[in-house]
Amino acid sequence: MSRRNVKRAPQKSTSQRNVRRPWQERASNKRQKKRIVQGEAIGASKGSNKQGDARKKGRHVQCPIPAMSSLVDSFSEVTDPRVNRQRRHCLIDIMIIAVLAVMCNADTWKDIHIWGVANHQWLETFLELPNGIPSRDTFRRTISRIDPDQFQKAFLRWLRCINQRIKGVVAIDGKTLRRSGSRDKGPLHIVSAWACEQHLTLGQRTVDGKSNEITAIPELLATLTLKGAIVTIDAMGCQKNIAAQIIAAHADYCLAVKDNQPTLAEDIANSFLDAMEDDFESVTHDEYETHSKGHGRIEVRHYYTMPVPESLRTACEWKGLKSIGLTITYRNAELDCDGEVRYYINSFASNAKRFANAVRNHWRIENSLHWVMDVTFREDESRIHKDHGGENVSWLRRLAISLIKRDTTIKDSIRSKRIRAGYDVEFLKQMLVCISNDI
């Protein structure tokens, strides 16, 4: 074929070459945040078709719910991980839809997309959605590539909107997402900090396994504001540097002691045995007792505290140490037998009732967070593991728990509220309005 017969493509004019396509424009989360917060009108998108222009023409953003405004404000500074030319959806749209969908019983990327499509008409009243609802692959790729540290900082910014100060007990414990592993690496293990009274996840760190919690806990503590709180950790976190870090943060600690600190455990056990021989007559102590009945069993708990004894050989190595604690638990048939014994070290003065409150509240991270994540959100069944997907989706679940637990519209379980919100958008709006009262 000769060159004369080859048809050349028509040359574009200078004005046509200078026209920027929507996917070439830099996504601006702050610009959309301003529109949502101030309720400005959203015009038609440059890259939308005529039908879409006609549908969106004259559409105005409704006055936002404060809870939504605070979320948009908190997540607006998250860096978009996508390439400019591949951005067809706003990052804020993707994240807000994901948060709301997880609240409404969506557990997978496909569930999030289906919920977004079903509620498209309501979502476009306060989100731009220039190209409709993102696909499930868009949700997966975008959320999996967001830096987990930025995700956590955004979450903590939102926490400051509803809680200026964390008080009470902050429990730290780890949890393994059993099916999140792959051929190259094992399952994801996440260490979380849980504010027991506020029902809020304050932070989390991902580690390779339970044995690495010792290195993850100091990193997690460094991100938290703990002034005035009591930090409780199981025996894995009973380390001298962790105790010193908690005291430096102007907080107190209550740390479980087991055989990983053999000298300390032996000295505490001998101190309480010697004191019990004469029924604590020779030492200053405090004691407290509780009785509880539920779940088909009767439990009796005895709590004992006393100042640090002189026989504690490593006492000077634990910064801020002021008292030691002992718990004895009896259950049902064990009431006439030897109970379950645990030992603790505390940075607060000998006070058995305060000690009992710290020990019992520590288990709230198991009952109010880990159990809910496994049973209600089916986290152990999740296979999300690529890039940062597992950790970021775990953050979405924890954010959903915090939002749902703050709702007081009806008295019901988290599972029932998720199902109800998934079926009824009006109920979801009521939840968000109720949550807004704390902002």
Q: How far apart are CA 33 and CA 91, in angstroms?
A: 11
Domain ranges of the chain: 22-159+407-436, 168-371
Greatest C-alpha distance within the chain: 112
Q: What pLDDT is recorded for position 22? A: 44
Least confident of 46-60, 225-239, 299-313, 343-357: 46-60
Highest mean pLDDT among 93-97, 147-151, 197-201: 93-97
Using alpha carbons only, give the angle 343, 347, 351 rounded to the nearest 5 degrees: 70
Give Cβ neighbours of residue 276 (< 8 Å, ≥ 6 apart): none
Please write the tens of the pLDDT for every residue from 227-286: 899 999 999 899 999 999 999 999 999 999 998 899 999 999 999 999 998 888 888 999
- CB burial readout 310-326, b (16+ within 10 A) else e: eebeebeebebbbbbbb
3-class DSSP string for 338-382: CCEEEEEEECCCCCHHHHHHHHHHHCHHHHHHHHHHHHCCCHHHC
Please write the tens of the pLDDT for every residue from 167-194: 889 999 888 776 555 556 666 778 888 8
Q: What percent of the chain has pLDDT over 90?
A: 31
Arithmetic mean of pLDDT, 306-321: 93
Arithmetic mean of pLDDT, 376-382: 73
Tokens of 105: 């019983």
Mean pLDDT of the chain: 79
Q: Which residue has the higher pLDDT, 234 or 439?
A: 234
Q: What percent of the chain has pLDDT over 70?
A: 76
* 8-state DSSP, 129: -
Q: Which residue has the higher pLDDT, 337 or 355?
A: 355
Q: What pLDDT is recorded for position 402? A: 82
CA distances in angstroms from 137 to 134, 215, 417, listed in the order given: 8, 34, 27
Q: What pLDDT is recorded for position 197? A: 86
Arithmetic mean of pLDDT, 61-71: 63
Please write the tens of the pLDDT for every residue from 288-307: 999 888 777 788 899 999 99
Residue with tokens 């009992």: 356
Q: In 57-147, which residue ranges form alpha helices assigned H by DSSP?
A: 66-75, 91-103, 109-118, 120-123, 136-145
* 8-state DSSP, 130: B
Q: What pLDDT is recorded for position 381? A: 66
Q: What pLDDT is recorded for position 216? A: 86
Please write the tens of the pLDDT for every residue from 98-145: 989 999 988 888 999 999 999 999 998 888 888 999 999 999 888 888
Given a contact cutoff of 8 angstroms between Cβ atoms, the answer to whether 188 and 176 are in contact is yes
Q: What pLDDT is recorded for position 5? A: 52
What CA dihedral angle connects 68, 70, 72 and 77, to 10 degrees?
Answer: -170
Given a contact cutoff of 8 angstroms between Cβ atoms, the answer to whether 201 and 229 are in contact is no
Q: How far apart are CA 294 and CA 300, in angstroms?
A: 12
* 8-state DSSP, 398: H
pLDDT exceeds cutoff 70 at 54: no
Q: pTM of the entire structure?
A: 0.75
Q: How far apart are CA 325 and CA 286, in angstroms?
A: 10
